[in-house]
A = this chain, B = another copy of it.
Amino acid sequence: MSKSNHPFCYEYARPAVSVDCVTFGLDEDGLKVLLIERKLEPFAGCWALPGGFVEMHESLETAAKRELEEETGLKVEYLEQLFTFGDVQRDPRDRVITVAYFALVKLTDHAVEAASDARQAVWFPVDETPDLAFDHDQILQVGFERLRNKIRYQPIGFDLLPKKFTLRQLQQLYEHLLRRPLDKRNFRKRILEMGILQELDEVEQGVAHRAARLYRFHERQYNQLVKQGFNFEI
């Protein structure tokens, strides 16, 4: 390609472009975030968000999925772009602009596969993360805030729970993320009246008290309602 055709484009140095994934999962102990231990400099031995460089033939979202798959073997329930971080000095080697992604995983449903495929990825409690490489602490914080905000007006909480869940599990998830207790009766009334949960003829197993009924998120119904102007909000 000749320089004269595109004088403003090709003659300058280019930054490198990477993707990084802030991936949340939920288990019995609470909310977790997925980190990997870096093998290479810079920050060798440090914990960091999974990620890597974008290839020329793939879109950003494809790159994010690929890197997550390669480094952790994970299949995500939900993925969206988070923010692009481009401070000049964020990588000590060179100019690297990173497009951060926000991902949610049904950790309990995929526990077996995730464990067998685990490589060096580890789930950390979100409030007990080590210092991270680069500006990944900042990226993680932005991701966590996105989760806490978005859960109020988008039904993404279901992407963290198992496919079949109890209303208690759902309520506890919201209580954790909203950082305040919710009234049980009001919560149940609210969520059931929305008509986006499918009541199953099953109850939870292995609890030492009355077993709670299981529900499923009725995504088809939800999409239908959204078309009619329905607004999810908790």
Contacts of A57 in B (CB 8 A): 88
Q: Is A193 an interface residue (CB 8 A)?
A: no
Q: Is A83 an interface residue (CB 8 A)?
A: yes
Tell me the chain A residues, 54-103 only, with Cβ under 8 Å from chain B.
Answer: 54-61, 81, 83-84, 86-88, 93-97, 99
Contacts of A7 in B (CB 8 A): 40
C-alpha spacing A83/B65, complex, angstroms = 18
Q: Is A5 an interface residue (CB 8 A)?
A: yes
Q: Is A207 an interface residue (CB 8 A)?
A: no
Q: Is A125 an interface residue (CB 8 A)?
A: no
Partner of A93, one of B6, B15, B52, B93: B6
Q: Is A41 an interface residue (CB 8 A)?
A: yes
Given the known inter-chain contacts A15-B14, A16-B14, please indicate yes or no for A8 contacting B53, CB distance below 8 A: yes
Give A42's nearest chain B residue, CB to CB: B6
Contacts of A54 in B (CB 8 A): 15, 86, 97
Contacts of A87 in B (CB 8 A): 59
Q: Is A9 an interface residue (CB 8 A)?
A: yes
Q: Is A197 an interface residue (CB 8 A)?
A: no
Contacts of A96 in B (CB 8 A): 9
Q: Is A230 an interface residue (CB 8 A)?
A: no
Task: Give 18 new A-B contacts, CB below 8 A, not counting A12-B55, A58-B88.
Answer: A1-B94, A6-B40, A6-B93, A6-B94, A8-B52, A9-B53, A9-B93, A9-B96, A10-B16, A14-B14, A15-B17, A15-B56, A17-B17, A17-B86, A59-B86, A60-B86, A60-B97, A81-B84
Cross-chain pairs A/B with CB under 8 angstroms, 9 sampled: A6-B41, A6-B94, A8-B53, A9-B53, A9-B96, A14-B14, A15-B17, A59-B87, A84-B84
